[in-house]
Chains A and B, each alone.
Chain A
Amino acid sequence: DIQMTQSPSSLSASVGDRVTITCRASQSISSYLNWFQQRPGKAPKLLIYAVSGLQSGVPSRFSGSGSGTDFTLTISSLQPEDFATYYCQQSYSTPKITFGQGTRLEIK
Chain B
Amino acid sequence: EVQLVESGGGLVQPGRSLRLSCAASGFTFDEYAMHWVRQAPGKGLEWVSGINWNSGTIGYADSVKGRFTVSRDNAKNSLYLQMNSLRAEDTALYYCAKDWHIYGYGGTFDNWGQGTLVTVSS
Which A residues form the contact surface with B (CB < 8 A)?
Answer: 1, 32, 34, 36, 38, 43-46, 49-50, 55, 85, 87, 89-91, 94-102
* Selected contact of A44 from candidates B57, B58, B60, B109, CB within 8 Å: B109
CB distance from A6 to the nearest CB of B (A): 9
A43 adjacent to B107 (CB under 8 Å) = no
CA distance A94 to B59 in the complex (A): 8
CA distance A38 to B105 in the complex (A): 23
CB distance from B55 to the nearest CB of A (A): 12
- Nearest neighbor of A87 in chain B, beta-carbon distance: B45
CA distance A102 to B57 in the complex (A): 28
CB distance from A22 to the nearest CB of B (A): 16
* Selected contact of B47 from candidates A32, A38, A97, CB within 8 Å: A97
The size bracket of the interface on B is 20 to 34
CB distance from A104 to the nearest CB of B (A): 10
- B107 contact set on A, CB distance < 8 A: 32, 34, 89-91, 94, 97
B44 adjacent to A94 (CB under 8 Å) = no
- B68 contact set on A, CB distance < 8 A: none
- B61 contact set on A, CB distance < 8 A: 96
A97 adjacent to B35 (CB under 8 Å) = yes
B62 near A: Cβ within 8 Å?
Answer: yes
The 6 residue pairs across chains A and B that have the minimum distance between CB atoms: A95-B59, A91-B107, A43-B112, A102-B44, A97-B47, A99-B45
